[in-house]
């Protein structure tokens, strides 16, 4: 027998609503948290309709579109929440859809895992959900697949609806100052080469975070301690954490390495993790919080690079320039999932965007109806460029308003990215 899944009963209503629509096969992702004994499915969201295929009702599945949507969704999930699997709603026999479900499960996991900078742990749960819902009978057939093994067989799994699945989950949050100096490649003629170099630098920082000391409510607790021990049952618990990182001892040793520039990443971030109510341990809280710290920084850097790449494709390659520039990374905005206790999802707001654009993305990516007043913008302040009156290289220096479309030229020399709460600058300067 496969794993057992405890599913928020609102998911049943959501899937039934799509069955009623009866418009061809519908795909989507399932979001929740895994634990050693069972998994908890908090919510589900359908794959958005692709514009070019909006008028065509076919039976074929667009695997690339489904997996990219899953990747975008995973970016919008704080610590403790992840994409647990996929679903398909159709009137076909579940056995006939198993191959398609299997392909989607592995494709989604492969794409999402490419963005992860933290190392996998031995106790990570690697079973993923493959759910088929018959659009006529509403019968749900759930199977689990172990994504560690490409040859794994689909196992029957228990799919059980329950109300208030995450109503009493614990919340652990922290604010972390970030001050990173990342090397850029000598060949700065493409965003792709810079992306690889930045990712390698962030991976080194991710190890530093992983080795950091985590204090919860000011105390260093034993790893196997129950986080909510001594607390009242069925009551939401909130904990404040501090991450103490050892200074990067490699910076001086690596300072003389040959490179084409550097990226200075500075600011403060808000990190958050949710933990299931089934006697969560301190080591789980630390693991989920640290992974969220790494992920939220990496996502913002990746988003900015994607914006720059899109712009450069429109401009074509430009000549290298010796200049400095400050650019803002987006800030994290939280949005509660109504009826789901303390659980929130998030989005990233660039400084030239309004809250309406955030609510639009929440609707498109997570099928979440949110008003602007529902958004929590208090955790991170919008980044602002700092005055750069100090001496720099004897070349042209520009400090511009933090807009995504103000980046000129692929050949950045130094980037400083302001992370919310204390500005995120992309400070560009040649070595």
Which of 133, 162, 191 delimits the end of a domain? Answer: 162
Do 292 and 270 share a structural domain?
yes
Residue 192 pLDDT > 90, yes or no? no
In a domain, 431, yes or no: no
Do 140 and 70 share a structural domain?
yes
Judged by phi (left if over 0) then psi (alpha if -120 to 50, else beta), residue 234 lies in left
Long-range contacts of 232-236 (CB under 8 A, 24+ apart): 233/168, 234/168, 234/277, 235/168, 236/167, 236/168, 236/169, 236/170, 236/171, 236/341, 236/342
DSSP conformation class of 147: T
Residues constituting the chain: 431
d(CA 67, CA 399): 38
Q: Greater confidence, 319 or 71?
A: 71
In a domain, 156, yes or no: yes
In a domain, 424, yes or no: no
What is the residue range of 264's domain?
170-419
Which of 112, 127, 162 delimits the end of a domain? Answer: 162
What pTM was estimated for this model as a whole? 0.85
Averaged over 9-36, what is the pLDDT? Answer: 90
Estimate the crossing angle of helix 63-75 against helix 282-315, to 10 degrees: 120
Give me the pLDDT at residue 328, please. Answer: 83
Give me the pLDDT at residue 311, please. Answer: 67
Do 188 and 80 share a structural domain?
no
Do 400 and 286 share a structural domain?
yes
In a domain, 356, yes or no: yes
Residue 75 pLDDT > 50, yes or no? yes
Do 288 and 325 share a structural domain?
yes
In a domain, 126, yes or no: yes
Q: Greater confidence, 317 or 164?
A: 164
Do 239 and 146 share a structural domain?
no
In a domain, 427, yes or no: no
Domain count, the chain: 2
In a domain, 293, yes or no: yes
Q: What is the CATH number of the domain that holds 24?
A: 3.40.140.10
> What dihedral angle (degrees, nearest 10) is formed by the CA atoms of 264, 312, 303, 179?
0
Do 204 and 66 share a structural domain?
no
Which of 136, 162, 188 delimits the end of a domain? Answer: 162
Do 175 and 68 share a structural domain?
no
Q: Let me know: does 260 contact 187? Beta carbons within 8 Å.
A: yes
Do 214 and 99 share a structural domain?
no
* 329-365 pLDDT per residue, tens: 899 999 999 878 899 999 999 988 999 999 999 999 9
Give me the pLDDT at residue 325, please. Answer: 62
């Amino acid at each position: 027998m496969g794993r057992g899944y405890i599913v928020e009963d609102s998911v049943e209503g959501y899937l039934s609503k799509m069955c009623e629509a009866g418009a061809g096969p519908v795909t989507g992702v399932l979001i929740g948290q895994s634990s050693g004994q069972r998994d908890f499915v908090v919510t589900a969201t359908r794959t958005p309709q692709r514009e070019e295929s909006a008028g065509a009702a076919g039976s074929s599945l667009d695997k690339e579109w489904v997996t990219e949507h899953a990747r975008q969704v995973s970016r919008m999930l704080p610590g403790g929440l992840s994409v647990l699997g996929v679903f398909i709603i159709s009137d076909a026999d579940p056995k006939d859809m198993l191959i398609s479900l299997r392909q989607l499960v592995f494709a989604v996991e492969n794409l999402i895992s490419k963005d992860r900078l933290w190392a996998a742990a031995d106790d990570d749960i690697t079973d993923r959900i493959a759910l088929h819902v018959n659009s006529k009978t509403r019968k749900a057939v759930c199977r689990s697949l172990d994504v560690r093994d490409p040859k794994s067989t689909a196992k029957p799994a228990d799919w059980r609806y329950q109300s208030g699945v995450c109503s009493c989950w614990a919340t652990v949050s922290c604010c972390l100052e970030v001050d990173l100096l990342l090397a850029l490649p000598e060949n700065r003629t493409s965003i792709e080469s810079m992306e690889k170099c930045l990712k390698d630098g962030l991976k080194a920082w991710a190890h530093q975070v992983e080795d950091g000391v985590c204090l919860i409510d000011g105390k260093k607790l034993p790893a196997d301690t129950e986080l909510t021990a001594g607390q009242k049952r069925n009551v939401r618990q909130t904990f404040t954490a501090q991450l103490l990182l050892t200074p990067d001892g490699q910076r001086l040793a690596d300072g003389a390495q040959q490179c084409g520039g550097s990226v200075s990443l500075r600011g403060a971030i808000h990190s958050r993790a949710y933990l299931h109510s089934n006697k969560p341990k301190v080591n789980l809280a630390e693991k989920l919080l640290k992974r969220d710290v790494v992920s939220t920084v990496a996502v913002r850097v990746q988003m900015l690079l994607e914006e720059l790449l899109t712009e450069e494709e429109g401009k074509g390659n430009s000549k290298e320039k010796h200049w400095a520039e400050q650019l803002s990374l987006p800030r994290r905005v939280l949005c509660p999932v109504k009826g789901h206790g303390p659980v929130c999802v998030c989005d990233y707001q660039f400084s030239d965007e309004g809250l309406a654009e955030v609510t639009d993305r929440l609707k498109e990516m997570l099928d979440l109806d949110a008003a602007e007043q529902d958004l929590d913008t208090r955790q991170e302040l919008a980044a602002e460029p700092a005055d750069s009156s100090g001496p720099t290289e004897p070349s042209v220096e520009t400090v511009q308003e933090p807009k995504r479309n103000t980046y000129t030229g692929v050949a950045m020399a130094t980037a400083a990215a302001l992370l919310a709460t204390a500005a995120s600058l992309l400070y560009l300067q040649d070595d």
